[in-house]
């Protein structure tokens, strides 16, 4: 198992001490408070779970600009994206040295964290445009990540935080949601010395399944971490509970025991392409994984990124920036010639007609009509779960 990013020991910001936790909950009732944006809530959950190690809280404007422009804070800490508490109204907390951050995603807006306020600053329009261009590669508001960022507001509240709960993730996904601390502990308990991680925000089809298998074989790792995003996605994406059920069914039926960990994390998708790929690698290093799979258009959306930009961005990182190693994957598909799933780059003699290729639109249409995709594309047990979901949305 490799060490976390930026420190020898993982430093989660969740307050585990029962007495301290109770005292902070009591203090929060008398503090000025704000209902944070969903993106900020996700950041707090990730800070609490140790995924954002070695950060101790929310960045100020200088660090936001530093991470956006050159992936480093002013203090020299490597981080590929800003981690900020940005809002559109700070009137309720003006002048307060400590504030309670309230969860926007749970009924009643319970206290998510307490923040020590070091500064409240205002982003300029020019800075917002620069952040979008550097992090997302575009300032186009049709890009869902850009639109979400621009909608946060302009006021940056910086300072360390103490996290008091993990929002809805722990309650809604008790069998799946895990902190980086918990994942490191389970890897250790399983006795795995090496682990390859696979990121997903979608159900896994045969190509994804075989990609995990290929990576484990090529890298000779002890296990696979299937790590799914449980936060907010874009309209039309399949809900987390359905994805969770589909992935669990696939693993239970088609992988040997003690070779796969199925977990999830509480974060909203950024759709930031290459920058988010680096962030995803950093997450998995903090989880203790030794390797991370990155395929075509990782964390992309629309046509904003080149097919392999999420891989080549790692070539620009200085050696030693991250300890985790990247497994670079090509598009995988079922070969009718070879009767198995292959990486397209490995079969130069194939034409398009030699593969079973289905567009996302075609698959969704089939599922909504109660038609299972061919077994070479999707396991029948997985297809049944997805058919049930799509047909339920039409009732």
Q: Point out the residues that are catalytic.
A: 201-202
Q: Are 52 and 43 in contact (CB under 8 A)?
A: yes
Q: Which two tokens stand for residue 37?
A: 């944006």
Helix, strand, coil shares of the chain, percent, nearest 5, are: 40, 20, 45
248: DSSP letter: H
Q: Are 61 and 127 in contact (CB under 8 A)?
A: yes
Residue pointed to by tokens 């508490």: 85
Measured distance CA(2)–CA(325) in Å, rounded = 11
Task: Please report where in the chains the tokens 């389970």 appear, as a residue.
Answer: 186
> Helices H, strands E: what count in the chain?
13, 15
**Sign, Cα dihedral of 330, 331, 336, 342:** positive
Strand extents, DSSP E, 231-310: 260-265, 291-294
Separation between Cα atoms, residue 56 and residue 337, nearest integer Å: 53
């Amino acid at each position: 198992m490799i060490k976390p990013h930026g420190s020898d020991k993982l430093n989660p910001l969740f307050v585990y001490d029962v007495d301290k936790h109770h005292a902070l909950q009591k203090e929060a009732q008398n503090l000025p408070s704000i209902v944070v944006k969903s993106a900020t809530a996700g950041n707090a959950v990730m800070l609490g779970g140790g995924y954002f190690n070695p950060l101790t809280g929310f960045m100020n404007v200088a660090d936001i600009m530093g991470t956006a422009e050159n992936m480093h804070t002013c203090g020299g800490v490597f981080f590929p994206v800003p981690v900020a508490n940005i809002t559109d109204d700070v009137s309720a907390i003006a002048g307060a040295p400590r504030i309670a951050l309230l969860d926007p995603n749970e009924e009643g807006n319970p206290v998510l964290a307490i923040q020590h306020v070091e500064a409240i600053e205002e982003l300029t329009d020019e800075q917002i445009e620069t952040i979008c261009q550097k992090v997302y590669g575009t300032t186009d508001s049709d890009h869902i990540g850009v639109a979400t960022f621009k909608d946060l507001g302009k006021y940056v509240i910086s300072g360390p935080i103490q996290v008091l709960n993990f929002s809805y993730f722990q309650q809604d996904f008790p069998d799946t949601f895990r902190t980086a601390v918990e994942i490191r502990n389970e890897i250790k308990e399983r006795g795995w010395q090496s682990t390859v991680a696979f990121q997903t925000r979608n159900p896994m089809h045969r190509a994804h399944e075989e990609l995990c298998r290929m990576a484990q074989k090529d890298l000779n790792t002890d296990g696979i971490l299937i790590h799914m995003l449980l936060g907010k996605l874009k309209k039309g994406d399949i809900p987390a509970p359905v994805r969770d059920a589909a992935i669990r069914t696939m693993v239970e039926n088609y992988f040997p025991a003690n070779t796969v960990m199925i977990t999830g994390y509480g974060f909203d998708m950024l759709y930031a392409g290459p920058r988010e790929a680096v962030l995803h690698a950093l997450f998995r290093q903090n989880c203790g994984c030794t390797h991370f799979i990155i395929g075509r258009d990782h964390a992309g959306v629309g046509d904003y990124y080149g097919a392999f930009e999420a891989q080549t961005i790692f070539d620009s990182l200085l050696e030693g920036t991250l300890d985790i190693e990247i497994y670079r994957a090509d598009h995988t598909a079922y070969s009718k010639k070879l009767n198995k799933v292959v990486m397209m780059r490995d079969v130069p003699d194939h034409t398009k007609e030699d593969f079973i290729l289905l567009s996302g639109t075609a698959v969704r249409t089939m599922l909504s009509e109660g038609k299972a995709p061919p077994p070479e594309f999707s396991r029948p047990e997985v297809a049944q779960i997805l058919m049930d979901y799509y047909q339920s949305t039409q009732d």
